Homo-oligomer: A and B are copies of this chain.
Amino acid sequence: MKFIIAIIKPFKLDEVRRALTILGARGMTVTETRGFGRQKGHTELYRGAEYQVDFLPKLKIELAVPEELADQAVAAIMEAARTGRIGDGKIFVMNLESAYRIRTGESGPEVL
């Protein structure tokens, strides 16, 4: 199994979720984060002074998938989250050794 971490622009969440659902993913976990990267942060005004805000609001999607779905999931996120402008985000894939469903105690790819 694979553990996919995707950092995306917040307003792309709906599209990404839809794309993953179509693919058959039945669960995911989303966290608000702040990202620092090539994309420049916005300016904030403070009584006439301007400040650069480096950290931008991003969403992190964590998604555990069976081995065979990993590539498709990456591709689906990539397409759904893309605006083509800097700051679209990153996808990281790691190896997932085991997965359990708390409710039933089951483990393995079928719990995902």
Q: Is B102's CB under 8 angstroms from A89's CB?
A: yes
The distance in angstroms between the C-alpha atoms of A108 and B37, with both chains bound, is 17
0/1 interface trace, chain A 53-64, chain B, CB 8 Å (1 if under): 011001010101
The distance in angstroms between the C-alpha atoms of A65 and B100, with both chains bound, is 17
> Looking at chain A's contact residues, is the secondary structure mostly helix, strand, loop, or mixed?
strand
Whether A101 sits at the interface, judged by CB under 8 Å, is yes
Contact A93-B102, Cβ < 8 Å, known A30-B34, A31-B32:
no
Contact A100-B82, Cβ < 8 Å, known A30-B34, A33-B30:
no
Chain B neighbourhood of A3, CB < 8 A? 5, 92, 94
Contact A90-B78, Cβ < 8 Å, known A26-B37, A97-B95:
no
Query: What are 12 pairs between A and B in contact, CB < 8 Å?
Result: A27-B90, A28-B37, A29-B60, A31-B33, A78-B100, A83-B103, A87-B103, A88-B102, A88-B103, A91-B100, A92-B96, A93-B96
A residues with CB within 8 A of B = 2-3, 5-8, 17, 26-38, 54-55, 58, 60, 62, 64, 74, 77-78, 81-103, 105, 111-112
